[in-house]
Structure 1
Amino acid sequence: MADDEARIRALITKWADAVHRGDLDGVLADHAEDIVMFDVPPPHEGLHGLDAYRATWPPFFTWQAQGANFEIESLEVTAGTDVAYAYALLRCGTPEELTERPTLRLRLTLGLRKEGDRWLVAHEHHSFPHD
């Protein structure tokens, strides 16, 4: 299981780096066709499928290009034989937002499943605490 945890940690780190670079193909890699995502912006009932997931990223990249951060601060992974979950805290915001609220962190939870020898993100949840 430790090997799977390391592989999942590398997958998530690679995903976050792709987000930070604005690399859509990198963001989509290792995500299941039937992914379900609950994101900060609506729709509140979530998005279903890789095409809907794909459509959320260009507006985020536009916002991020204004100088926003997207960096993993902490990451925990638990892997079973064919399912796993991970949770993380990320610094996600513009320099102004992070200066104004220095403890603000994006919460990320991922559910993964193993297909063959490959881990895929099947569920993704992003949230900010409501102060």
Structure 2
Amino acid sequence: MNQDEEQIRRLVEEWASAVHRGVLAAVVRDHADDLVMYDVPPPYEGLRGLDAYRAVWPAFFAWQASGAEFTLDTLDVTAGQDVAYAHALLRCGTPEELTERPALRLRLTLGLRKEDGRWVVAHEHHSFPDLSSASEPPSPQPSSS
């Protein structure tokens, strides 16, 4: 793993930890001002800008404070000189949801760019698989990257 990939891995791990702890300043810290995010809940056209991104987190933190989990399970990073992407799976749900579907994972994809020598998230996408007609997915295997 090269130095940029290590920096991005640390950035994503710190972001996930900040989300888990409900620390808004740390959640938004490494995001670009012109960030675009597509999330599980509406608005379906996504959010644009750091202010809109910042505004969605308090409701999530309130839900999470009821006992929900948000932990990084797998993470893969690919970095070029000025752009990179990362994809991850996270355990995200209430204890009841995770007991009912132990293999369920939130899917996360990040697009990053280097600004003034620093990696920032320019695009963030969260999704859950559509399980309306599917059987339980197999348990994900930990990433070696």
Shorter-chain TM-score range: over 0.9
Structure 1: how far apart are the matches of 2:90 and 2:65? 17
1:129 aligns with 2:129: yes
Q: Indicate the residue corresponding to 1:120 in structure 2.
A: 120
Per the alignment, residue 4 of structure 1 pairs with 4
TM-score by length of 2: 0.89
C-alpha distance in 1 between matches for 2:87 and 2:55: 23
Cα-to-partner distance string for 1:26-59 (whole Å, 9 max, x where unaligned): 0010100000000000011100000000000000
**Counterpart-to-counterpart distance in 2, 1:6 and 1:116:** 18
Q: Which residue of 2 aligns with 1:59?
A: 59
Gaps of 5+ in 2: 132-145
Post-superposition offset of 1:117: 1.1
Query: In 2, Cα distance between the equivalents of 1:67 and 1:5?
Result: 32
Q: Give the whole-Å Cα distance in 2 for the aligned partners of 1:117 and 1:17.
A: 23
Q: How does 1:51-90 map to 2 (within 5 A)?
A: 51-90=51-90
Report the secondary structure of 1:40's partner residue: coil
Which residue does the alignment assign to 2:21? Answer: 21
With structure 1 as the length reference, what TM-score do the two structures score? 0.99
> Separation in 1 of the partners of 2:119 and 2:63?
29
Correspondence for 1:31: 31
- Give the number of aligned pairs: 131
- CA deviations on 1:45-79 (whole Å, 9 max, x unpaired) are 10000000000000000000011110000000000
Q: Which amino acid is the alignment partner of residue 109 of structure 1?
A: T
Equivalent position amino acid for 1:14 in 2 = E
User: Which residue identity lines up with residue 79 of structure 2 in the other structure?
Assistant: A
C-alpha displacement of 1:116: 1.5
User: Where does the alignment leave 5 or more consecutive residues of structure 1 unmatched?
Assistant: none
Correspondence for 1:93: 93
Cα distance between partner residues in 1 of 2:52 and 2:116: 25
Q: Distance in 1 between the 2:5 and 2:116 partners? A: 16
Q: Give the letter for the 1:62 counterpart.
A: A
SS of corresponding position for 2:81: coil
Distance in 2 (alpha carbons) for counterparts of 1:17 and 1:86: 16
Task: Give the CA RMSD over aligned residues.
Answer: 0.7
CA–CA distance in 2 between the matches of 1:76 and 1:32? 21
